[in-house]
Amino acid sequence: MGLLSKIKGSEDIKKLSISELPALAAEVRKLLVDGVSRTGGHLASSLGAADLILALHYVFDTPRDRIVFDTGHQAYAHKILTGRADKFHTIRTHGGLSGFLKRYESEYDAFGAGHASTALSAAAGMAAARDQAGGHNRVVAVVADGAMTGGMSWEAMQNVGHLGTDLLVVLNDNQMFISERVGRLGHILTKMLTMGSVQRTVRKTEIFLGRFPHWGRRIRRIIKRARVLFFPGMVFEEMGFSYFGPVDGHNLRELVDVMGYIKDVKGPVLLHVVTTKGRGYEPAEDSPVQFHGTPKFDIETGEPSAAAQSEKMPPTFTAVFGRTLVELAKKDKRICAITAAMPEGTGLDLFRDAFPGRYYDVGIAEEHAVTFAAGLAAEGMKPVVAVYSSFMQRSFDQVQHDVSLQKLPVVIAMDRAGLVGEDGPTHHGVFDISLFRMIPDVTVMAPADENELQHMLATAFACGLPALLRYPRGRGFGVPMDPAPLALPLGKGRLLSRGRDLNFLAIGNRVHPAVKAAQLLKGLGIDAGVADLRFVKPLDAELVKELAQAGPVVTVEDNSLAGGFGSAVLEYLNASGVEAKVLRLGIPDSYVEQGKPEELYSDVGLTPEKIAAAAADWLAKRLQVK
């Protein structure tokens, strides 16, 4: 039996000697690679953080001491070491472990982590609550360097520095974006600076100099600036943090030693740890971007499994977006593209390679991305911001105030709309229609398939208005692709078939399932038609009114029913005085957990079979009432 079989939490880890920790870390990494190869998931970041997480649980008294992670990409080792190793093979599967941190999954998950740049704010709140209660537990925020590009992280940093509360921030730097100084000198300086005698001497010197308001203040500034010259943490020191590091994030003895030194240092502390993404698995070390979020793969080769790499499968919506954008940009030099640190995930890597001078990566800063785009548009450019739907929630104010209010023609391409699958509720894009259709002077579109996507992107640039285009994760429906993208008539849907008994009003990637549902209903003797509305805003009022007056209609969408597409239809019919029989199908008023998309769409009643069953049952009840 290995060491891991004996580990259920922090107390079990503490029973090991420091010399045994590397062997435990190797077992954790082996389980990581084996598990993610079977389910897919965020591998490279979790491999890189494994030693760091092991050291944290070895030094700190978790779960009493709170460890708050920024996103769950780096925290798989945390799950394995806190009693969930035997369930790790279920990660990101239907009914299994979440791929992110969840408070209701384990007492060790101090705070839910799905989106970036939240750990510092949450940890600051926990530290303040501890202080209010007179507690003595420690609070640690583990922040990946990418999350430090988010404005929320810096807002929290200045607040913590002002409060002066006891809080340790561990900066997990896997890009060496601050300094490369990882070696004996760095270790010696860090150890010296964390020694209690040095800390006490510094405090006594500051108290003494504080007695002399005129020249003492100047000398204190000089001493502080001289001190920070020895290491690269001046910006953190200026914000009120005691900076230590950088240290080698894969040297467990050094990590344990340093954390042991600094865990009792008073006030805000920042420990800079340098790690390597993909550590311990060569393919992930060689291709950390590919293994940041990977599908199932063959462990021996690192290549995606056969099921994930069939060349005969339809292109992904993301790929169609990327190719179409490049095609349009070849004809219009004003088109430029913006990403919030997700070029590959959003398909903008194609644009980046083709037009590097018109490509902007602003880091994990969705709010800035949108207002930056507004500035570009104000000067005559045609910017597109490509971002995941669930991340666009952060930019509601910017869309409303900086884009819509000024009627600036910014295109926002929202990838991962609808139920994204294994990443679960932190990443499902099921609120964007509800959020953005309320804003005046915007266009909101959702393509039924990959061919319609290319035309809608052309429409977004041509309409001259703020345009939000939402489309799902994954592959298209295999429809024929037109030779070139062309702008569609604004606010006009298309009637695919007309039904005598009822008609489906569908939007986005639920159009094709609605077509199949109509076919199933015909087998039950129910004649059902389907309309692809295409536009949530402006709504095709003529088509909606025509079908609603003809008979019962069923709206179908992959957005929340609260405020979604179906609500827009009801609002229009009510305002127009049209008496209509309407059934709305969509995402219920609850969070949807992780699983394969087909499993989740079945859970919420949005597969062709369940759409047909719901419509038939509703229609039968209406006839009984009559």
Let me know if 610 is a catalytic residue: no
Cβ distance 40 to 15 under 8 Å?
no
| Annotation says 366 is catalytic | yes
Rounded (5°) CA angle 107-108-113: 105
**For residue 329, which of 304, 359, 363, 372 has the smallest C-alpha distance?**
359
Whether the upstream peptide bond of residue 246 has omega within 30° of 0, thus cis, is: yes
Q: 255, 52 in Cβ contact below 8 A?
A: yes
Helices (H) and strands (E) in the chain, counts: 24, 17
Beta-carbon contacts of residue 439 (< 8 Å; ≥ 6 apart): 399, 400, 404, 466
Active-site residue, from 254, 366, 450, 557? 366
Peptide bond into 283 cis (omega under 30): no
Paired tokens of 597: 């998309």
Q: Which residues of 561-599 are buried (b: 16+ CB within 10 A; e: fewer)?
A: bebbbbbbbeebbeeeeeebebbbbbbeeeebbbbebeb
Closest CA to 156 of 49, 63, 236, 234: 236
Residue 172 is classified by DSSP as E
Q: Taking the CB of residue 368, how many other CB atoms lie within 10 A of it? A: 18
Catalytic residue among 84, 92, 102, 394: 394
* Consecutive H or E run containing 216: helix 215-228
Nearest-angstrom CA–CA distance, 622 and 626: 7
Which helix (H) or strand (E) segment is 511 a member of? Answer: helix 511-522
| Catalytic member of 29, 66, 92, 277 | 277
Whether 184 sits among the annotated catalytic residues: the reply is no
Catalytic residues: 277, 366, 394
